[in-house]
Amino acid sequence: MSFIIFVLSTLNADSIVDIINNDPTSTWVAVEYHPSIMSREKMKRRLGAYLPPRPSHKLVPRNDLPENFDSREQWPGLILGVRDQGDCGSCWAFAITSCAGDRLGVQGRGVGDLSPQDLVSCDTDDYGCGGSSLDPAWQWMFTDGVTTEQCIPYVSGSGRVPVCPAKCKDGSKIQRYRPSKWLYLQDSQMQDEIIQRGPIQVAFTVYDDFRTYKSGVYIHKTGAQGGGHAVLCLGWGVEDGTPYWLCQNSWGAEWGDQGYFKILRGDNHCGIESYAYTGHFTYPRSV
């Protein structure tokens, strides 16, 4: 039975790849990934952002900002790298901790990767590998904080969620970092936040064709809806006349453009401009 499922999923992947790459209007390139990197089943297990319905509208273009902006170029060496959440719906925890870790680094108070495992195991307002709404996850970090990856390493890539630890892996006391405030961002605030303070967390509805993304500006073409997904947004730009958001995924560096992707900007494509959040780290605040 598993072999039949594998064959059917492969045939479907081929059809999606053909549809995308043979479409003269397509703004992106699709590939068939080896199942060890990405499959429909893997993708579904990784979609863990609960996205409530929100009104959709188009972003008003602005002329007071640069046409292209990339946080990695603005703050070289301070933006943390691509990670891999594994077969766990912990995208919400990876996106939030990546946002917080990058912003601490931009402010000269970087402590390296923050711990998504801390949220997955300790945030009792959410569901670990079962996913999370974004508002309570940010509120949890504001109230209880999050520690470093060194203190509580990520171990839930298999889908197993251990209990919240009382001490760091090395036996030392857990120190957690909290934002001075967290914000839900209107679409008109997203670029200002990124250019002034660093990457933000965004979320969007994922369709089956997204798992085949390799390069270019993603615009949904075909495939069923899979679920909600939270990622990091590092900047924006224009490619061959198509405006995009530049995002960092948490599916490892073998997926996409070395772990990154571009998605249509300005049209609230897949809801990408309806679920933007961030935290401000305006002063040292640890627990």
Please tell me the number of Cα atoms within 13 Å of 181 on its side-chain side. 4
Catalytic residue (one of 229, 233, 247, 270): 229
Catalytic residue (one of 91, 129, 247, 270): 91
Verify whether residue 122 is a known catalytic residue.
no
The 3-state DSSP class for residue 103 equals helix
Distance CA(144)–CA(122), nearest Å, equals 9
Name residue, tokens 């940010």.
Answer: 138
Verify whether residue 91 is a known catalytic residue.
yes
Distance CA(24)–CA(176), nearest Å, equals 50
The encoded tokens of residue 184 equal 């839900």
**Enclosing H/E stretch for 185:** strand 181-185
Verify whether residue 229 is a known catalytic residue.
yes
Catalytic residue (one of 99, 122, 233, 249): 249
Determine how many CB atoms are found less than 10 A away from the CB of residue 159.
14
Closest CA to 272 of 241, 244, 251: 244
Return left, alpha or beta for 69; rule: phi > 0 is left, psi -120 to 50 is alpha, else beta.
beta
List the catalytic residues: 91, 229, 249
